[in-house]
Every structure is written in C-alpha cells, then in structure tokens.
C-alpha cells in the first residue's frame, strides 16, 4: 500500500474519531459490542498472557480483554491515527483492574516490538483498510510466540435471501447518510461499504492466513455474516 493510501486512511480515522464510538453503537445497533466479545473469547488466554491489539482505535478490544481475562493480562494497543489513540486514553485509564493498557502510535506494518513477544494478536475492523494483507499477516506471525493465536474481525455481507437484500439497502444507502449526518465527514461512511465490498470472501482470506503460516485457520460468521471472525494459530 502506498504512503498516500495509508495517509488517506489515517487522516479519515483522525477526523471521525470524536464520533466513532457513538456511531459504532448506533449503526450496528450495539452488535459491535457482541462481535468484540466473541473475538476476545476466541483467544482462550492463559493467566498472565500478553496480547497485542492492532488497529486498536479507541480501545474497545483492550477493555473487553481485561473484562474477560482480568487485570493480570498484559494488553498493548497500537494504531496509526493519533486522534483515535487520544480518545482511547481516558477510557483505558479509568479501568480499575490491573496495570495500564499500553498504547503506541504505530503502523501495523512496522510494529515496535521484538519478534515472538505475544500470546495473541487481535485486529477488529482494521484489515479491510490494509491493501497488502499478506505482508501484515506475516508481521503478525513474526510477533507471536509459538502456540500464539491471531484473531481478526471484519465486516462481511449476509450470503443470501431477504437478510442480504435488507442489509445491502441499509449498508449502502442508509448507513452512509446517517454516518455523514453525525460525523460531518463527507466520505468516511461511503468509504466503509466500498471497503467492505473489496474485502475478499471468507475462504479467500482464510487461505491468505494459511499462506502467512497460520494453522487451524477457521472462520465464524456472526449476525448472519454481517461480521466474520477469523482465527488461526502459530504452530
């Protein structure tokens, strides 16, 4: 992905950051909370595990990790949009349990950690923004300990029937309008359906994970396939 494309995505998230959490809950009818809970429970972490949440945005995955696995879990979050990280800080600071969740401004392609540091890596709703998915998957593989797990959430589209028709109308017509109204951003919520349409079908993305070295790759459609959870392990 060119520097120009990365800058475009980063600037877009910086600009929508103040409305990001509110619009997530509204536009997904709070399903996003359930989707992140499924992502985190798929990690099956042992006590004292270290987890890296990439494209952490405003920190909701990190908060869910601590909620499910407690304060002894080491959680690190990286994102390349400074405004998203700025809004994550007060949310993460107010957590009662455990040491602070560490945040860093970093690109998923250039992670500021030594190889083999993490028991698990997560990415929620970030991978569709990344064109060179295979390279970033290889970076994640490198950062995991042997036996570590990668879990990725991404938006999809219901496969067939009425659910698909209704969803496509909502996602392509209504959502950009509501998103534009609240965020005051002219194209971020039109970019969203376009970026989801470009995302590969689940079997194809699972094959990319396998090519990056992951084994036991599986995927689980959530809410009729509106979101898909991908999980793979580093042998």
Ligand X SMILES: C[S@@+](CC[C@H](N)C(=O)[O-])C[C@H]1O[C@@H](n2cnc3c(N)ncnc32)[C@H](O)[C@@H]1O
Closest by CA position to 66, among listed 109, 122, 22: 122
- Candidates 23, 55, 206, 228; binder of ligand X (CB under 6 A) is 55
Q: How far is the CB of 155 from ligand X (least distance, A)?
A: 9
Is there a contact between 149 and 44 (Cβ–Cβ < 8 Å)?
A: yes
User: Can you tell me which residue has the tokens 């990725």?
Assistant: 152
Q: Which helix (H) or strand (E) segment is 148 a member of?
A: strand 144-155
Q: Which helix (H) or strand (E) segment is 118 a member of?
A: strand 118-124
> Which CB, 35 or 214, lies closer to ligand X?
35
Q: Could you tell me how many residues make up the chain?
A: 235
Q: How far is the CB of 235 from ligand X (least distance, A)?
A: 26
Q: Which stretch binds ligand X (CB under 6 A): 77-85, 112-120, 137-145, 210-218?
A: 77-85
* One-letter-per-residue 3-state SS of 27-96: HCCCHHHHHHHHHHHCCCCCCCCEEEEECCCCCHHHHHHHHHHCCCCEEEEEECCHHHHHHHHHHHHCCC
> Which CB, 56 or 137, lies closer to ligand X?
56
Task: Return all residues near 124 (Cβ < 8 A) that are at least 6 apart.
Answer: 35, 36, 39, 53, 55, 57, 60, 61, 152, 153
Interface size with ligand X, residues (CB under 6 A): 21
Q: How far is the CB of 165 from ligand X (least distance, A)?
A: 25
Site for ligand X in 7-36 (CB under 6 A): 9-10, 13
Q: How far is the CB of 126 from ligand X (least distance, A)?
A: 4
Whole-number Å distance between alpha carbons of 218 and 174? 32
Q: How far is the CB of 17 from ligand X (least distance, A)?
A: 8
Site for ligand X in 83-142 (CB under 6 A): 84, 107-109, 124-126, 129-130
Q: How far is the CB of 86 from ligand X (least distance, A)?
A: 11
- Candidates 16, 52, 56, 65; binder of ligand X (CB under 6 A) is 56
* 65 forms part of the interface with ligand X (CB under 6 A): no
> Which CB, 75 or 81, lies closer to ligand X?
81
- Residues found near ligand X in the complex (CB under 6 A): 6, 9-10, 13, 55-57, 60-61, 79-81, 84, 107-109, 124-126, 129-130
């Amino acid at each position: 992905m060119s520097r120009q494309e990365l800058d475009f995505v980063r600037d877009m998230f910086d600009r929508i950051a103040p409305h990001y959490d509110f619009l997530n809950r509204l536009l997904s009818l709070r399903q996003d909370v359930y989707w992140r809970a499924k992502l985190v429970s798929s990690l099956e972490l042992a006590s004292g595990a270290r987890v890296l949440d990439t494209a952490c945005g405003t920190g909701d995955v990190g908060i869910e990790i601590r909620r499910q696995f407690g304060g002894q879990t080491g959680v690190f979050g990286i994102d390349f949009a400074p405004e998203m990280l700025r809004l994550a800080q007060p949310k993460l600071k107010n957590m009662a349990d455990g040491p602070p969740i560490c945040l860093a401004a970093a690109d998923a392609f250039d992670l500021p950690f030594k190889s083999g540091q993490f028991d698990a890596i997560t990415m929620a709703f970030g991978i569709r923004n990344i064109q060179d998915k295979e390279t970033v998957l290889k970076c994640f593989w490198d950062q995991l300990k042997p036996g570590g797990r990668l879990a990725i959430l991404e938006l999809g589209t219901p496969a067939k029937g009425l659910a698909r028709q209704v969803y496509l109308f909502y996602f392509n017509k209504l959502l950009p309008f509501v998103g534009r109204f609240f965020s005051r951003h002219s194209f971020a919520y039109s970019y969203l359906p376009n970026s989801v349409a470009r995302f590969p079908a689940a079997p194809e993305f699972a094959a990319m994970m396998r090519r990056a070295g992951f084994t036991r790759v599986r995927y689980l459609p959530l809410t009729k396939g509106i979101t898909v959870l991908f999980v793979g392990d580093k042998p």
